[in-house]
Structure 1
Amino acid sequence: MTGYCASRLVTGVLGWNGHCLRAPSTVPLILQIRNTFILQRRTPPGLTKKNKRPKLRSRHYVYDLVEDTNLRKQENLNVILTSYVQGFGVKGDRVSVKPKLAYEKLLLPGLAVYATRENVKMYEESVDKEEKTPAFSSASVERTVGILSRQILAVVMNLETEWTLQPWHLRISFRKAGFIVPEYAIELPEEPIKGPNLDLEGKEFKITVTINKSETVPVRCRIHHWSTNPGDRLPYVQDHWQQTAEPLFPDNQKSFQSDQ
């Protein structure tokens, strides 16, 4: 009968003749971890005489934890971008980001360096103003343009009172969608949109939003009528932004087809 070999530290396998073949044991990998704990003696020792060793008892070796530095909030790192990075800036820009984000997204890929005195001086002398392309008014503009260009804004209008679409209607609609857009940054179509008109229900039109008075982005909008009387309300359309809509102005038919 073949015996069974078991060991917690050694890996065993059975050979062709039933004997237990032992593989060499693995040595655990020990890595040094830099941890700092700030402690305080619970019982402070008394004064000692000059040139004498302090007399410490067991009670003097009881400590209370004052602070674990691993739990301390880390400050942001200042880095200098070595090339254009979407959402951060262009070459030569000095940005302050969280340490984890700086290591993973900027320093390790070689897209940034530490903002030391030498690096600051070097990049101030080497970076040319003309190389800062694409030039945006802020680091978050490109991401904001991408989000707004994919947005289909629901413009809810009254079914009972006559109205003419104004920028403040769009401002409220943007606020409902989670965007803060001032009225002066909203440009409506040249042809006025008036209602209530059920022929406009669910139809799509475009407006232009100006970001930081510099960049412009077209935003798709759809008219939805709403009534204070529950009996007059239109049926609710689930996920209307996933459905194809007719353009409010026939001249925009080609532009809507290119966006879809």
Structure 2
Amino acid sequence: MLKFPRLLVNHVKALATPTSSSNTDCLSQQTRVIAFIITYISHYHNTFILKRRHPVPLYKKNSKPQRLKTRHFIYDLVEDTNWRRKEFLDLILTQYVAGIGNIGTRVSLHPMVAYPKLLLPKLADYATPENIEKYTKLALDQGEDKPFSSGSVEKMMKYLSKKRISIMMSKDVPWTLEKWHIKVNFRKAGIYLPEDTITIPEKSISGPNLDIEGKEFYVTITINNREQVKVRCCLRHWTSDSSSQIQVDHSLPAEPIFPEDKPILDSLPSFYKERKKNI
């Protein structure tokens, strides 16, 4: 339904009123009027699929059709196309898009996401056979010059760099920190990774040693054999004896185990949040 029909009529009349005696100007003005009407109507264009509740009777050839009765103008709504489920669009990326993929990656997205975020900014194109061949070749030519090995790597690196993993070690049994200790404690935090992707500090960390309780160090995680990210870790001692357990306030900044690692730990995103003072 058109909104404000009187305003629309007045606007069309104003556009249609000739302001020049030249035929060329009049034609161009009429063209603008037609373009305005088409744009306005198409903006409010809706499609409803209807079905007659009472079928119209047939009539013989060369005979006069019978006049339709009131019941023949009763319709049942079959479908409102405004609520029709839109099919996903098959696209191929024309360049790297954070969180999605590199050039040549094929994705299938809902039109409400695909149009504003990929097609209009020209970050993707329709996955036609010609475009698939074109951008796949460009991806092969790019080789190792891609910004990241996959679309999710950048997001994963940001996620890991903001984490602080508590490394729980025994307070009763002697130990030396190894990769499998890091792997197990990462798994406790919901992060699964193989040991060959973990790089621990070159200097050994042994215990139990209460002097390094609650202090920090960092490990390096390799993703897809290419990207590397440093993750903050905090060493804690644990014992089954509840009376000997150590209580540490982890809301306060901690000192590094190795003083030379302080610049690197300070460069990582801050894990701590300053507490608001009660007034």
TM over 0.5: yes
Q: Hey, what does 1:163 align to over in structure 2? A: 175
In structure 2, relative to structure 1, the CA distance for the partners of 1:107 and 1:159 (3 Å cut) is same
Q: Letter of the aligned partner of 2:257 in structure 1? A: L
**Does residue 110 of structure 2 align to residue 101 of structure 1?**
no
Q: Hey, what does 1:111 align to over in structure 2? A: 123
Across the aligned residues of Structure 1 and Structure 2, the Cα RMSD in angstroms comes to 3.8
Matches within 5 A, 1:119-158: 119-124=131-136, 129-130=141-142, 133-158=145-170
Q: Hey, what does 1:231 align to over in structure 2? A: 243
Q: Hey, what does 1:247 align to over in structure 2? A: 256
- Structure whose residues are more often helix by fraction: 2
1:88 and 1:251 map into 2 onto residues whose CA distance is 37
**Does residue 185 of structure 2 align to residue 173 of structure 1?**
yes
Q: Hey, what does 1:90 align to over in structure 2? A: 102
Moved more, 129-138 or 99-108: 129-138
1:122 and 1:38 map into 2 onto residues whose CA distance is 41
Name structure 1 gaps, 5 residues minimum: 1-9, 11-23
2:240 and 2:51 map into 1 onto residues whose CA distance is 67
Q: Letter of the aligned partner of 1:153 in structure 2? A: I
In structure 2, relative to structure 1, the CA distance for the partners of 1:126 and 1:31 (3 Å cut) is same
Q: Secondary structure at the match of 1:161?
A: coil
Is residue 207–residue 219 contact of structure 1 (8 Å, CA) maintained in 2? yes
Q: Letter of the aligned partner of 1:157 in structure 2? A: M
Report the count of equivalent residues.
Answer: 231
* Shift, 1:251, TM fit: 2.3
Q: Letter of the aligned partner of 2:266 in structure 1? A: Q
In structure 2, relative to structure 1, the CA distance for the partners of 1:209 and 1:127 (3 Å cut) is closer
In structure 2, relative to structure 1, the CA distance for the partners of 1:30 and 1:126 (3 Å cut) is same
Is residue 93–residue 102 contact of structure 2 (8 Å, CA) maintained in 1? yes
2:165 and 2:104 map into 1 onto residues whose CA distance is 37
In structure 2, relative to structure 1, the CA distance for the partners of 1:37 and 1:163 (3 Å cut) is farther
> 1:192-220 CA deviation, whole Å, 9 max, x = no partner?
21112111111111111111222222211
Percent identity between matched residues is 43
**Does residue 203 of structure 2 align to residue 194 of structure 1?**
no
In structure 2, relative to structure 1, the CA distance for the partners of 1:124 and 1:184 (3 Å cut) is closer
Is residue 97–residue 151 contact of structure 2 (8 Å, CA) maintained in 1? no
Q: Letter of the aligned partner of 2:245 in structure 1? A: R
Is residue 50–residue 76 contact of structure 2 (8 Å, CA) maintained in 1? yes
Moved more, 149-158 or 200-209: 149-158
Is residue 91–residue 132 contact of structure 1 (8 Å, CA) maintained in 2? no
In structure 2, relative to structure 1, the CA distance for the partners of 1:75 and 1:207 (3 Å cut) is farther
Name structure 2 gaps, 5 residues minimum: 9-39, 270-279
